[in-house]
Structure 1
Amino acid sequence: MLKSSSPPSSLFAKNSILLHRRWKTMSDLIKTHALLITLGLSEEEPFPSRALSFSALSSSPGGADYAYRFLTRLSNPPKFSWNFVIRGFSDNRKKPEKTIRAYIQMLRNGFSPDHMTYPFLLKSTSRLLDERLGGSLHSSVLKNGLVWDLYICNSLIHMYGSFRDSVSARKVFDEMPDKNLVTWNSILDGYAKCGDVVSARKVFDQMTERDVVSWSSMVDGYVKSGEYNEALGVFDEMMRVSNGKANEVTMVSVLCACAHLGALNRGKAVHRYILDKHLPLTVMLRTSLIDMYAKCGSIGDAWGVFCGANVEETDVLMWNAVIGGLASHGFIRESLQLFHKMQESEFEPDEITFLCLLAACSHGGLVREAWHLFKSLKKSGAEPKSEHYACMVDVLSRAGLVKDAYGFISEMPMEPTGSMLGALVNGCINHGNWELAETVGKRLVELQPDNDGRYVGLANVYAVNQRFGAARSMREAMEKRGVKKVAGHSIIELNGTPHRFIAHDKMHLDSEKIYAALHLVSIWMDLDVDDDVNENYNCISS
């Protein structure tokens, strides 16, 4: 019976297998595609549909580009395939404009967007920060009657949040008939990005359900607003409520808060948590750890985190973090050596790299090296920014070359900033060039009339030269304008808790003990330490 049946031809069977074949890699797909083109079967279904979805959503570099080229060459492309290509392009963080180009080509080919198209378009528009395009897409959503689609509305809220347009984001939120957790997270994140932590906190407190995204957005909002203690407070609450379910985004924000507070013990505890929970040490997380340790004064730990990664697990941001950390701790030569190693490892330095290196040269008094780096930045094709010019002014000023620094400022292709002139004034004061200090100081007051430090700096210049009348007039001008001197403060961490102090501070609960201990320390420095002093000190410290 088997022999008498009519089996399909071997050619038909082979072609059928090719059309229905499944691929594991883009290389497999490309080989199959090439063979089908030679057979004239590249547009026979189901190959086009399956090939387009596979390539567009492939994680392989160039997969979406391949899908787009294939789609634009089809004589009768299926409508849903455009959504695959647009979705594939929207996953490319570095080139979101490709999503918009595919959308425009889709319209030119006579296809209309649907509820699956807009979320990916809005996602890419958020990355482009193109408010005009965002408004146009919102109008298109209204025109096509998709304004009540939950996923599109969530994407609109996210987009407006990225634009720092909390008013439009809130309008979309309030008009939605149905909301889910993503909706609430989107408006919360929008407020956080806008720096409106008060509104963000109100939304957060109204939420009946929260996930790790909710908590992370609230922590990040406080960090971006400079309210680092509040950020750590929310994180502590998160640990109690969510049983310690944090992710990479959460930990990056928490480490940033620790870095700004100088809370080394707290930062180490976060590091232990990351290791205990087996969170993947991504490039971003390693970079945040390096930055935290460096800013908290533990450059050895920062170096240990850096050395714990293989070269292929690093990127330019991580190299910048450790180079900058070494420089800020006085390891100037080491930071320059690491820069050369970075180049040997075939990592291209960026503008931040040169900024870190110029700062290192400034602290190390390396004028010749600074000039070489500044010229190298220009040769790399990048245009030096005001921060690079400010670093060069600082390098020259610290080295006592204040006239050269003044000439450098005069020849810049931009107007000098306050930081540039401030560095020059400090250099003039340190090296006794009072005439230039007065000239630059006056210009600095004109440039930043609401900055208390500018008045105080110029008044100090006058006071040193015993021009007390002029110094007093600067104080009077400052008071007349309503500028108040902001008290500087110091932060010290004790048993994981940061304590903030200003000069002559008596607000701390233990201020009497602190002043008594300081008094004993001053006695200790002048006299030999005896048993009585030790005994008194132990009583106070206990």
Structure 2
Amino acid sequence: MLRAGVFPDYLTYPFLAKASARLLKPELGGAIHGHALKNGFQLDKFINNSLIHMYASCHDIVYARRVFDEMPMKNIVSWNAMLDGYAKCGDMASARQVFDLMPQRDVVSWSCLIDGYVKNGDHKEALAIFEEMLVLGPKANEVTMVSVLCACAHLGALDQGRSMHCYVMDNGLPMTLVLRTSLVDMYAKCGAIEEALYVFRGVSNGKSDVLLWNAMIGGLAIHGLVNESLELFTEMQIAGILPDEITYLCLLSACAHSGLVKEAWYFFECLGKHGMTPKSEHYACMVDVLARAGQVAEAYQFLCEMPVEPSASLLGALLNGCLIYGKSDLAEIVGRKLIELDPDHDGRYIGLSNVYAAVKQWKEARTMREAMERRGVKKSAGFSCVEISGTLYSFIAHDETHPNSKQIYEILEFIVSQMKLDVHKVIQEYPSL
């Protein structure tokens, strides 16, 4: 275009910025930015908005902010681009600050903030923002609901997920394939398999895609419905939907839950036959299958022959198998490798400490705990979430922050006492056990 003597205009540069963002080439985007400035387009909002998006997509948030700050006149697209940029870069504090400073907000503004919290793992805050949106903001659209359903899925908040489904239906939002897939995923992850299947069956095969099938196959697999998962895979093939890497990951996970070693090997080999390259997650699943089935030596050999470096999750699967089947020598090797790979993860030290404790090597077990303390690694408190009447409550061990803690512990002690009574009854009835 330039060689032909045709000068770019205000419509040209946004397309070039978008292309640079897609390619993740900030140096190319920077050259385009410089060219736009040289040709006098420094005040063009349309171009500057696309440059903010480009820099943020390339994780160069400092330059994105510089472009934003130097704009004398900003519109809502400018603010949304900056908000989305911070969210993409994981800086939710700055994203929230931009959101709070916005002179006006639209559905994109709210959706960007909610999606940012979801992508950064703060699912409770995402739902809190959505509740705020219902009161203060515009009506949510299908894009908003995809993020909100994802938050419900991660929290296991079934009642809230059902409420979101009702919101979609009551407000006549278009049931896009992405939204339907999010509903299936939410119901499946929350354990409502029948509802997941109902939503899944609501679309004809000709209008479905591999993502929808993956959500349902994976949902069945994580709840131990292995035969149903494999049957659905057969149905998927009959429908003419080609499986992808995620499909095989779901199938390998199903095999791991039921000790189906032969079937797992078949699915793993299918990846290569269909022109797909196994990722570290596939190798981890395969190691998990073998380790759970007691084939720990085979799992270790498989790990050693892999063309990729073992990940922490892969070694973790092997370590669990070693602990279950008493392979302490191999467990020690794997445990030490895990600490090398992930020295700031509390679970790695605790895992190796448990290996030593299992074989009564108390000195070595204590050494691991001390090494963890010397490095300054703190043990993260585990917690449980319970949903009651649409509200999520989180609890950690010995937690007394809940206003009804006294009553909760009284009920807990009563349940434990009843369990002990049941155990005593079984012992009296079956003394040989």
Q: TM-score, normalised by structure 2?
A: 0.94
Alpha-carbon distance between aligned partners in 1 of 2:27 and 2:270, rounded to the nearest angstrom: 38
- Confirm or deny that 1:473 pairs with 2:370: no
Matches within 5 A, 1:448-459: 448-459=342-353
Matches within 5 A, 1:432-471: 432-471=326-365
Matches within 5 A, 1:230-245: 230-242=125-137, 245=139
Q: Which residue of 2 aligns with 1:180?
A: 75
Aligned letter for 1:134? G
- 3-state SS of paired residue (1:482): coil
Q: Structure 1: where are the runs of 5+ without partners?
A: 1-105, 529-542
Alpha-carbon distance between aligned partners in 1 of 2:2 and 2:252, rounded to the nearest angstrom: 50
Q: Which residue of 1 aligns with 2:154?
A: 260
Deviates more, 1:388-397 or 1:307-316: 307-316
Matches within 5 A, 1:384-399: 384-399=278-293
Aligned match of 1:269 in 160, 163, 174?
A: 163
Deviates more, 1:187-196 or 1:264-273: 187-196
- 3-state SS of paired residue (1:123): helix
Q: Which residue of 2 aligns with 1:112?
A: 7
- Confirm or deny that 1:203 pairs with 2:123: no
Alpha-carbon distance between aligned partners in 1 of 2:94 and 2:334, rounded to the nearest angstrom: 43
Q: CA deviation at 1:214?
A: 0.8
Q: CA deviation at 1:511?
A: 1.1
Q: Which residue of 1 aligns with 2:320?
A: 426
- Confirm or deny that 1:417 pairs with 2:311: yes
Write the deviation string for residues 167-186 of structure 1: whole angstroms up to 9, x where unpaired.
11111111111111111111
Q: Which residue of 1 aligns with 2:402?
A: 508
Aligned match of 1:312 in 206, 229, 232?
A: 206
Q: Which residue of 2 aligns with 1:291?
A: 185
Alpha-carbon distance between aligned partners in 1 of 2:349 and 2:3, rounded to the nearest angstrom: 62
Write the deviation string for residues 315-345 of structure 1: whole angstroms up to 9, x where unpaired.
1111111111000011111111111221222
Aligned match of 1:332 in 226, 234, 238?
A: 226
Aligned match of 1:218 in 104, 113, 124?
A: 113
Write the deviation string for residues 39-81 of structure 1: whole angstroms up to 9, x where unpaired.
xxxxxxxxxxxxxxxxxxxxxxxxxxxxxxxxxxxxxxxxxxx
Alpha-carbon distance between aligned partners in 2 of 1:393 and 1:295, rounded to the nearest angstrom: 24
- Confirm or deny that 1:518 pairs with 2:412: yes
The percentage of aligned residue pairs carrying the same residue is 60
Matches within 5 A, 1:91-170: 106-170=1-65
Alpha-carbon distance between aligned partners in 1 of 2:340 and 2:25, rounded to the nearest angstrom: 36
Alpha-carbon distance between aligned partners in 2 of 1:402 and 1:164, rounded to the nearest angstrom: 42
Alpha-carbon distance between aligned partners in 1 of 2:372 and 2:113, rounded to the nearest angstrom: 38
Alpha-carbon distance between aligned partners in 1 of 2:396 and 2:56, rounded to the nearest angstrom: 37
- 3-state SS of paired residue (2:385): strand
Q: CA deviation at 1:312?
A: 2.1
Alpha-carbon distance between aligned partners in 1 of 2:276 and 2:3, rounded to the nearest angstrom: 37
- Confirm or deny that 1:190 pairs with 2:109: no
Alpha-carbon distance between aligned partners in 2 of 1:507 and 1:293, rounded to the nearest angstrom: 30
Aligned letter for 1:123? K
Alpha-carbon distance between aligned partners in 2 of 1:410 and 1:527, rounded to the nearest angstrom: 49
RMSD: 1.4
Q: Structure 2: where are the runs of 5+ without partners?
A: 423-433
Q: CA deviation at 1:368?
A: 0.4
Q: CA deviation at 1:127?
A: 2.3
Q: Which residue of 2 aligns with 1:498?
A: 392
Q: CA deviation at 1:131?
A: 1.7
Alpha-carbon distance between aligned partners in 1 of 2:327 and 2:28, rounded to the nearest angstrom: 54
Alpha-carbon distance between aligned partners in 2 of 1:527 and 1:396, rounded to the nearest angstrom: 39
Alpha-carbon distance between aligned partners in 1 of 2:263 and 2:21, rounded to the nearest angstrom: 41
Q: CA deviation at 1:527?
A: 5.2
Aligned letter for 2:244? D
Aligned letter for 2:27? R
Write the deviation string for residues 363-383 of structure 1: whole angstroms up to 9, x where unpaired.
111100110111110111111
Alpha-carbon distance between aligned partners in 2 of 1:181 and 1:471, rounded to the nearest angstrom: 58
Write the deviation string for residues 182-221 of structure 1: whole angstroms up to 9, x where unpaired.
1111111111111111111111111121110111111111
Write the deviation string for residues 7-66 of structure 1: whole angstroms up to 9, x where unpaired.
xxxxxxxxxxxxxxxxxxxxxxxxxxxxxxxxxxxxxxxxxxxxxxxxxxxxxxxxxxxx
Q: Which residue of 1 aligns with 2:426?
A: none
Q: How many residues align?
A: 422
Aligned letter for 2:374? K
Alpha-carbon distance between aligned partners in 2 of 1:178 and 1:447, rounded to the nearest angstrom: 49
Alpha-carbon distance between aligned partners in 2 of 1:149 and 1:329, rounded to the nearest angstrom: 54
Matches within 5 A, 1:71-90: none
Alpha-carbon distance between aligned partners in 1 of 2:410 and 2:339, rounded to the nearest angstrom: 41
Instruction: Report the structure number with the largest CA radius of gyration.
Output: 1
Aligned letter for 2:94? S
* Relative contact order higher in (CA < 8 Å, ≥ 6 apart): 2
Alpha-carbon distance between aligned partners in 2 of 1:341 and 1:408, rounded to the nearest angstrom: 31
Alpha-carbon distance between aligned partners in 2 of 1:477 and 1:526, rounded to the nearest angstrom: 38
Write the deviation string for residues 449-483 of structure 1: whole angstroms up to 9, x where unpaired.
22211111111111121111111111111111111
Aligned match of 1:349 in 243, 255, 261?
A: 243
Q: Which residue of 2 aligns with 1:366?
A: 260
Query: Would the alpha carbon gap of residues 473 and 525 (structure 1) be closer, same or farther in structure 2, given more than 3 Å must change?
Result: closer
Aligned letter for 1:272? C
Aligned letter for 1:445? I
- Confirm or deny that 1:489 pairs with 2:383: yes
Alpha-carbon distance between aligned partners in 2 of 1:407 and 1:526, rounded to the nearest angstrom: 44
Aligned letter for 1:140? H
- 3-state SS of paired residue (1:226): coil
Q: CA deviation at 1:121?
A: 2.4
Aligned letter for 2:44? D
Q: Which residue of 1 aligns with 2:425?
A: none
Aligned letter for 2:2? L
- 3-state SS of paired residue (2:215): helix
